[in-house]
Structure 1
């Protein structure tokens, strides 16, 4: 060490008794070390800026349609569910479609439907990007009796990720089990391509289309009633709440409660569908950043990109009541979809429709409280609906003379016209 210091002094051309040399000798440490630290800091800053710019560019490449919001990640519910003894969804980890189908067929053995039990006569009712949706007959029992079902088919050219996602949705329905107010899974065909998801056929169809038909001056059509009273609105609303309570008991939420996501039967049995957000929360613990939802049905906290919860469903349920009492009018008709957040930030809510009683409007307003914690719980809301139904009018039929033009409705509501075609397309 002493030899090195003498050598350094010789290089600095100073004598061994020169005290100034000590200062010159330490100048290298004083200059080089801070320079290294500054250099490292600049490199880290450049990396952070590069990652931020890349993320911004990625978001700009995939904008949603007008009036549609990208949904922020939800709270991680995996550990909460495990803590309550729930059956966790385990993503299939196979590396090829063939091995994936073999594994899933064993896991879904109780749901498998022999393909020969499905009729060869298929009525196509929707054609989506991932495959077509058909109405057909299934022959079960002894003797075989035909039953109308809806078959969602995955295209044969689907890639590994699409196959995995399709199988995951079937597993999700298996996990949920049966509930009278949710669309039921009848079975599946997953032993080979094309993959089939067999669902119950709910006729006449989605609630939004039903409400539009109720505007026409007809009492029945094809033997089905198309009149709606205030009491029947409460009846449908209570069933939707039962479905939401069922999901909430499994630590899930729906995320897009709307008339277009409710199927209705001739006896006014309501079945909630459109469980894509619930599936993502269950399978991944969060909502995909690419998931989009129409803005006008979202609670303020969702518009402000905070995590989703069941309280957001309660806000949307208030919008559903508005849709029913107006026979399918778009919410906030005077507000452009992209301006809805500013409208709500001014603490403005929809006015009471002329066909809406003060009791029902009071229920709506309780759902539309700005603070999520101030909104009623699902059970409290269900109790209030039951109380209101006891004195509700069951004679006066709701009437709205104007017929709906789907293209105009889509523009005002901020939804895609194609999303209005058939509700099974979003299961």
Structure 2
């Protein structure tokens, strides 16, 4: 809510000058015919404050200039909303009040009739536009850090005539609860917090909202220097022809590219990061709550089969097989509990991997079972997602 008076010095000057000009004409305003010469509001949002003619924001001080204004009894907006004012501040030439706004009593924004009624029944009519302020968004979201896919309540003020609500730059469907709150669902695919952006005729206002994805992420490699195993720690092996890096046509930044041109000398191929310390904490032991994610793209070699390998620090190699069935980038997401033992994606006789021991990853092209020859597989953004 805008403050009625933000600068007392300018308010006093505004009031005193008006009263000085009107002090010489207070003889018998109660019976004199009334006339409105101008309606002005004092805008304290500028420095110094300025006068707006026939318009103002809720709470602004309004001065009506004219003659015969003594003994004014009521001031009504839109023939509906009565304004409270102090008759002691009135004179024959000036009438003062603050722009009143209460949507529960019928207040609205826009140009509307301003009606002044005197004690003798005389009515003076003018026009006045109530301007819509920008919304305010309080720091208090409910909940303060919502989970993805759940509802969040945005609190604030002036939630009228909302044309759009966005989260992290994308429009969201919202429900206006009242003039001080609205709700929307945090997108299920949100990966980070972002600005809540509300647009009304008063303008656009933003405030940052953090979110809880319900899981933690451990980045292995993004091939831009991020993650526990950066690009210069990767090598090719077996029948792989090349392992290279490029930024042309990637998801974002650099990606790795493994090429197999048909050699069968070793019977296998692949690329791998180095080993090292485990990626996850010792307490992360439930393979059903840990997911392995990687972005892949086989270009036009649709049908290329790949084996994703995760390695534990006991020397175990756990495999997940995937056939790339479409062109373009796609994200593979698989529970680590679905990885088979001893390089065999179908071997579940030896239990499941202990995620807390995983310390290496490999991306391989399966040379058996009709894999396209040659095959070029681009890959990027390797990470583990741990459900809480």
Q: TM-score, normalised by structure 2?
A: 0.21
Larger Rg: 2
More helix by share: 1
Q: TM-score, normalised by structure 1?
A: 0.19
Which structure carries more relative contact order (alpha carbon 8 Å, separation 6+)? 1
More strand by share: 2
